[in-house]
Amino acid sequence: MKLTFNKVFFTPWVGENYFNGMNGKRILIIGESVFCLPPNQCPCYKAIDNSCNYGFDLVDKVLKGTKVAFFTKIYKILSGNNLLSEKEFWNSISFYEYIQQSVGTKPKDRPNGEMWVNAKEPFLEVLEKLNPTFILIAGKSISDAIYSFNNINSIEKFEGKPFAQFAKLIFLGREIEIVSINHPSAPGFSYNHTDFINSKYYSQ
């Protein structure tokens, strides 16, 4: 499902059953950023409508059988011990890249301060249009940025490794549950915090 956005460059993936919810929750998964070829070569920056289907197309490829470690780990974390097939799972959630421009040309390139600042307004537009009730943030830097400008009314930290944190924020009068974890591609990532995440995700 493709939605129209005014401030978003990397179009989010929105599963065809997203608005019906999964386990009673509308789930938004947030990745940090993408790297791309230089702007004069990258297909995204030649888009005539000033948008790019990178995230949308990537999840679509996963549905068609392409294996991507990041998405496999996210699926294992949230799929309820694989009670859902990958197709059912990805058709029930949404996925969005927080940084809305290429951070460079190599995997280790990182967003700069201006990129983090510029990501705020597109993200708020996504929150407004997708109206998620549960967000899984894949990367502590993202949660640090979001917590700096949204109204967080409670934070519960998971003691142990790897990093995992539970929070609630209020946006346009609506409560959104958030679980933040280390990026699945980061060194030391494990599934030790899956029980913590599921205790929040499966709670009603």
Total structural domains in the chain? 1
Output the CA torsion 156→147→20→81 (10° steps). Answer: -40
Could you list the residue range(s) of the whole structural domain that residue 39 is in?
13-201
CB under 8 Å to 49, separation ≥6 — which residues? none
Per-residue confidence (pLDDT) for residue 66, from 0 to 100 = 84
Is 3 domain-assigned? no
The enclosing domain of 88 has a CATH number of 3.40.470
**Residues linked to residue 174 through DSSP beta bridges, in sequence order:** 171
| pLDDT given at position 123 | 93
The tens-digit pLDDT sequence of the chain (204 residues) is: 778 888 888 889 999 999 998 888 999 999 988 777 665 556 555 544 566 776 777 788 888 888 888 888 888 888 765 577 888 999 999 999 998 887 777 667 788 888 889 999 999 999 999 999 999 998 888 988 888 876 566 666 665 555 677 888 888 888 888 888 888 777 767 776 666 676 666 555
Residue 7 lies in a domain: no
